[in-house]
Amino acid sequence: MESQEILEKIKETFPCPEQDIRAYSPLTLAFIGDGVYSLVVRTMVVCRANRANNALHHDAVKYEKAESQAKILEIIKPLLTQEEADVLRRGRNAKPHTTAKNASLGDYHKATGLEALYGYLYLSGRTDRMLELMKAGIEGLENK
């Protein structure tokens, strides 16, 4: 299966004009990255065990909260290319109009940077690389 198959199918189903990915704001990249990361985490949690929704949600939140995403960022940082590090930095330095109610400002900014990176990789059709980084981060988090 081609790694960008779902992105291409979405674009075919809901036609949208081609845009230069570098023109997207870091917060737009974080918006889509948050959704993609959540889908991957939820898929992982469901594949590990068929349980009640409440238990699945509890497990997913462990990976999705800003504190965990900030830790994942630190784990994968040495693995990033210069291009990826630049996208992450743009996302981390963005000025969101909201803040997380249960996270420090530093963790929230790091989580936004991580989500921007995932969004950038997803929209660039580099889902294999995105999943590689997610796996390294999640495994690193679980081994701490």
Give the C-alpha separation, 144 to 142, whole Å. Answer: 6
Please give the average pLDDT of every successive group of 10 residues along the chain, which has 144 residues: 71 87 94 97 94 93 95 97 97 81 88 97 95 97 90
Contact 135/121 with Cβ under 8 angstroms? no
Q: Give the pLDDT score at 4.
A: 56
Structural tokens at position 73: 């960022």
Domain boundary assignment for the chain: 25-142
Give the C-alpha separation, 63 to 55, whole Å. Answer: 14
Give the C-alpha separation, 92 to 48, whole Å. Answer: 31
Q: Give the pLDDT score at 55.
A: 93
Q: Give the pLDDT score at 25.
A: 95
Which one is catalytic: 20, 34, 59, 107? 34
Q: Which of 10, 1, 30, 41 lies closest to 95, judged by CA?
A: 30
Question: Is domain 25-142 classified as CATH 3.30.360.10?
Answer: no
- Whether residue 107 lies in the annotated active site: no
Q: Give the pLDDT score at 1.
A: 42
pTM of the model as a whole = 0.91
